[in-house]
A and B are shown apart, each in its own frame.
Chain A
Amino acid sequence: MARSGFIVSAIRRLFTGPPLYYVWMLVLTILAGIGIAAYTVQLEKGLIITGMTSYVSWGFYIGNFTFLVGVAAAAVLLIIPAYLYDFGPIRDIVIVGEALAVSALAMCMMFVTADLGRPDRIWHLLPGLGILNLPKSLLGWDIVVLNGYMFLNLFIPGYILWKAYNNQEVNMRFIWPFILLSIPWAVSIHTVTAFIYNGLAARPFWNASILAPRFLASAFCSGPALVIVLYQIVRHYTKFHVKDEALFKIAEMISIAMAVNLFLLLAEFYKELYSNTHHLSPLLYLYAGLHGKGVLIPWIWTALIFNIIAFLIFLIPSTRKNFVTLNIGCVLIIIGIWIEKGMGLIIPGFIPAPLGEVWEYVPTTLELLVAMGIWAIGLLILTTILKIIIPIETGEFTSAKNAETAGLGHHHVPA
């Protein structure tokens, strides 16, 4: 009884809200529809509709996937500083972070599926039915850790919220191990994704020990920035409360992460420029062009400038504590990391090709539409989750209140 009441009232909640909410959801739905339509064209005609070639065989989809894995990881990793700095009940931080993680993970999985040549053969990945090439294949590991992470991020908040919904006490001794597990697991998803690229000796741009640390550093920039923006939106539209200090603390952490990221970039520059081997070529292509080709140059320099400005904004206390500059900083850093870790990481890995040719990649319109559709679906998932869990968190949405509003007069039966 409690469950059906939950579903009905959840759906009702999804369809009620301020006008802006309707516009937001409608726009997202339309964008998602366009993306799905574009994907059907891809299914019909094959990957030839993308800009990928045998030279640059991964592109926009995998770039977005890499960025979003970082977001998913960092969203949960915020638990650590939340616990250390003790700002707000940990549960609140966990919940919103995990909502972001779930939607980011869903987008990751959608991007990988969109990139597959034969999605009809996806069952080949299932161990037993198909073959999952463990322990050798890092993609195999990535599938395991991403799915495990998805389970953790659905189970933990699901459990906590279900208890809250039914006005019951959370059994911390039961759930705490899962929460603890999710922290190294969050590190692992991002490290495994970094290792996918890192282990390829054929691609010297990726085959550098600095890659996995850079992944973590940049994840700690983009994920928390999204969380800051998310918290402000949630705070504005619901009764959910987050202290300003919490947001400023997260921003401070971002500045440290960005400092590390910039330092690691400097280290990469030095190593390639000073030793001046052929391994310099991908970095040169990205920042200065190679053989007259350099379509990514304006993008990466924009990203670098955005990152530096954001770093300064988060570093200086007065700009960090000013919400206007803080939000500008967040937007800048999200865009900067999205470029740097998306296209700015994937494409130069393939240029120059193993036999020395330089062929560029630019995503086609259909590719962009599919990616946009996936982002829209991800945001739909995020909004849906938040629309349901925030009221549970604030105590507005409980089974008891459901029963009252429904006028059924049923007494709450403990689950």
Chain B
Amino acid sequence: MPDPTRTRESVAESNESTTPDAARCRPDDVRPDRRTFLAGAVSFLGLLSVSSCSWQEFVQNHFKRMTEKEIQETVERLKAEYKQKYGKDFVVGTEAPIDGTLFGYALDIQRCIGCRRCVYACVDENNQTRNPQMQYIRVLRFKDGNMDLEESTIYYDPEEVPEAGYYYMPVQCQHCVNAPCTKVCPVQATWTEPDGIVVVDYNWCIGCRYCMAACPYMGRWFNFADPVIPAEQVNTNTHYLGNRPRMRNVVEKCTFCIQRVRQGQYPKCVEACPVGARKFGNLLDPDSEISRIIKTKRVFRLKEDLNTQPKFYYFFS
């Protein structure tokens, strides 16, 4: 766990020292002239240094506008980049949505014990940066008797869970049907796929963070620095729109483990939950667990009054 007393700059500096020493395209000897107005000229070089190494990445088109060939070339380029950075062979899938699927999620808050195994399984599966720490899933702890968000906490730290007098409710991206985040993006870098997953094209995002202001559920997170993933923990089974390693200053979020669900598997959080509180399936299939839950259990969604129509349901069993 990172030391909270570290300054932001020291975090950024230590990122440079802990990231695997991969050949970056920016020249190491370019140091901006900080003394005078001439720094203006050098800032242009700085602009190039923060941009991609390669010309191809700079001119890369939006995922939805790329031809098959372009997608393949992009995937090859990314695989080469990741191999260079992490020393492993990656799979960068581009599987299309499965016909006739609309994914839904249900979470049994009668069962959740607040153990946070889902949180860390998600971090491992989705290649989230360890430093600065990022977690898509936040487990809220409420006192028995209310669901007051302002009185809740995610920082509970007892010896064991569950604690008496409290209950737990994990929150992540709700994959809203009426998503406010996809509405506001100025470049359409985030959109809802036909199978209901709200995705981000990390190479298209300009980092304006308007979507983060729009999200009512803290579903979206920003890479303020270069993501740090230890090479031995990186997950090489990725999807272009999902858990492939991201770059700095772009937005990312839960994608219902798009790399898994489009191949028929459960998301990692569903697998990790030791008490089976997490349920996932196809809303369009009347025999799926999620459909049965909606039919037989009393479900609710967060902030229903905002009319976001989340596909993430909560219930009690």
Contacts and interface: CB of A to CB of B under 8 A. Distances in A.
A contacting B, Cβ–Cβ less than 8 Å: yes
Interface of A: 29-30, 32-33, 36-37, 39-41, 43-55, 57-58, 115-122, 124-125, 130-133, 136-140, 143, 196-197, 199-203, 278, 281, 349-350, 352-358, 364
B209 A355 contact: no
Contacts of B226: 46
A45 B225 contact: yes
Contacts of B212: 54, 57
A57 B180 contact: no
Given A48-B132, A57-B212, A124-B187, A33 B11 contact: no
A250 to B, nearest CB: 35
Contact of B214 (A202, A278, A357, A364): A202
A121 to B, nearest CB: 5
Given A49-B12, A52-B224, A119 B187 contact: no
Shortest Cβ-Cβ A-B pairs, 5 listed: A117-B207, A117-B249, A120-B51, A356-B149, A202-B216
A139 B152 CA distance: 33
Contacts of A36: 37, 39-40, 43
B32 interface: yes
B183 A355 contact: no
B248 interface: yes
Contact of A54 (B38, B43, B51, B221): B221
A278 B147 CA distance: 12
Contacts of B171: 355
Q: Which of A47, A53, A55, A140 gathers most chain B CB within 10 Å?
A: A47
Interface string B34-78: 111111101100111111100000100010010000000000000
A57 B222 contact: yes
Q: Which of B58, B206, B214, B223 gathers most chain A CB within 10 Å?
A: B206
Contact of B151 (A125, A133, A353, A356): A356
Nearest to A365: B9
Contacts of B220: 54
Given A139-B184, A354-B215, A202 B306 contact: yes
A209 B33 CA distance: 48
Interface residues of B, number: 70
Contacts of B49: 43-44
A139 B209 CA distance: 11
Nearest to B43: A40
Given A33-B37, A40-B46, A43-B50, A124 B216 contact: no
A37 B34 CA distance: 5
Contacts of B207: 47, 116-118, 121
Interface of B: 8-9, 11-12, 32-40, 42-43, 46-52, 58, 62, 65, 132, 138, 140, 148-152, 154, 171, 180, 183-189, 204-210, 212-218, 220-226, 248-250, 306-308
B148 A133 contact: no
Contacts of B205: 117-118, 121
Q: Which of B34, B213, B220 gathers most chain A CB within 10 Å?
A: B213
Contacts of B216: 201-202, 354
A356 B37 contact: no
Contacts of A356: 140, 148-152
Given A130-B187, A133-B185, A120 B180 contact: no
A197 B187 CA distance: 18
9 contacts: A33-B39, A52-B224, A55-B218, A57-B209, A57-B213, A116-B208, A278-B149, A352-B149, A356-B150
A37 B205 CA distance: 25
B186 A132 contact: yes
A46 B140 CA distance: 30
Contacts of A136: 183-184
B189 to A, nearest CB: 7
Nearest to A121: B206
A276 B76 CA distance: 56
Q: Which of B38, B48, B186, B188 gathers most chain A CB within 10 Å?
A: B186
Contacts of B138: 355
Contacts of A43: 43, 46-47, 49-50
A113 to B, nearest CB: 10
A46 B12 contact: yes
Contacts of A53: 224
Contacts of B140: 355-356
A117 B189 CA distance: 13
Contacts of A139: 184, 186, 208, 210
Given A36-B40, A52-B224, A143 B186 contact: yes
A147 to B, nearest CB: 13
B150 A281 contact: yes
B119 to A, nearest CB: 14
Contacts of A132: 186-187
A364 B226 CA distance: 19
A65 B189 CA distance: 23
A281 B149 CA distance: 12
Contacts of B152: 355-356
A133 B36 contact: no
B37 A120 contact: no
A52 B132 CA distance: 13
Contact of A46 (B186, B221, B224): B224
A48 B224 contact: yes
Nearest to A196: B210
A48 B52 CA distance: 18
A138 B214 CA distance: 12
A65 to B, nearest CB: 12
Contacts of A47: 207, 222, 224, 249
A388 B204 CA distance: 41
Contact of A120 (B50, B222, B308): B50
Contacts of A117: 205-209, 222, 248-250
